[in-house]
Structures are given as C-alpha cells and as structure tokens.
Amino acid sequence: MKALCASGGIPRRAHNNHQTFRSAFSLYNRSMDHHTVAAVSITGTCLDVLGSLYLAYDLLGGQHGPLRLLTRAVTYSVVFGIGYGLGLGLFFGIASGIATGITLSIEFNRAARGLDHYSLPWEAVFSAIRAFGFGAGLYRILGLGFAITFAILITVGQVLAYTRGMRPAILPQPLSVAPSSITWTTPGPLRFAWGW
C-alpha cells in the first residue's frame, strides 16, 4: 500500500504530481507579471469604451447626434497621442495628443456644421492649449526653459497662421479655372508650415 502524504491523505505519488503541476503553474505566473495583466485589462477596457462610444454615436443620430464632438475628440486624441508617443515617448504622446485632439475636434466640429470659424481670440486660446500640451510633453525631455520657449513660439506661430487664413478646418475649394492658368500657390502652404 502506498504511503499517504501527511497533508490530507493524498497518496505520495499523486502529491508529487500536484507539486510538479503547481511549480509549472508558478513558473507561468512569474513570466506574466500582475502589472502586465492590469495593463492588458485596462487597455481592453479602454477599447471597449471606445467601441461603445462609436455604437452610441451611430445609434443616437450619427453625424448630427449629440456624441459627435466627443467621438471626434476621443478619436483625434488617440490618433495624435499614438503618433506623437511613438516618436517622443508615452508622456509626450498623452499630453500633446489630448491637447491636440480636443482643440482640433472643437474646430472641426464647427466647420462640419457649416459655421464660420471662431474669432481670433478663441483661436489663440486653442493655439495656447495645444502649445501647453506640447510644452508639458517636452518638459520631461528637454527641461522647463525649452518647453516654455517652444510653447510661446508655437502659440505665436499658430496665431500668425490664423491671421493669414490658415486654419486646421480649411475646406478645399473646387477649381474654377483650368489648371494651366493657376497662379503660383506655394506661399500659402509655406506660411501654413511656418505658422505651425
């Protein structure tokens, strides 16, 4: 008769198999840190929220529904945050992505409703918010002096672009003349690039 283990009357051979299983399971758990599980869980939850936002957007009127602005803000923030974050780090991506996504969604939402652009003081506020997001992201990378200087310069540049008619929500106009008679149009894009 097999000797019984002291813990609970399990035969020694079965008890050894249980220990082997437990040690293998323990090695598996060591490779999957609880922080990794939490990060995957939070990412999945955020994607669930984003999917439900799109579903609610569709169910509550689509293009003219109440979630239009929120959907734009979340989408632009995620897209810009990932784009900036890949090149300049997670913190920069979060700070600049949120600032850029929210302000651009507000401006694009107004243009999509067929309304005229915001007044210059409001556009300056949007520029300052975007510049603050960039400055906050750059602070951890390059220091406070550079972040403040860059935020001021980018705000001034964007406001100058706004005064010249260069806005994020510029709608392309159809050509009313033949392409051969189009005048030189490069100064506009150069001013746009200089202001941004």
Rounded to whole angstroms, the Cα distance separating 23 from 63 reads 56
Residue 113: what pLDDT? 75
pLDDT for residue 98: 92
**Predicted TM-score of the model (pTM):** 0.60
Give the residue extent of every domain in the chain: 37-169
Per-residue pLDDT of the chain (196 residues; tens, 9 = 90+): 445 455 555 555 555 555 555 555 555 556 677 788 888 898 899 888 878 877 777 676 666 656 778 878 888 899 999 999 898 888 999 999 999 999 988 888 888 777 788 888 898 999 999 999 999 999 988 889 999 999 999 999 999 988 887 877 775 555 555 554 444 455 556 555 555 5
Note every long-range contact of 166-172, with CB atoms under 8 Å and residues 24 or more positions apart, other chains counting: 166/191, 166/192, 166/195, 167/107, 167/117, 167/123, 168/104, 168/107, 168/108, 169/107, 169/108, 169/110, 169/111, 169/117, 171/111
The per-residue pLDDT for 151 is: 93
What confidence score (pLDDT) does residue 130 get? 92
Q: How many CA atoms lie within 13 A of 28 on its CB side?
A: 6
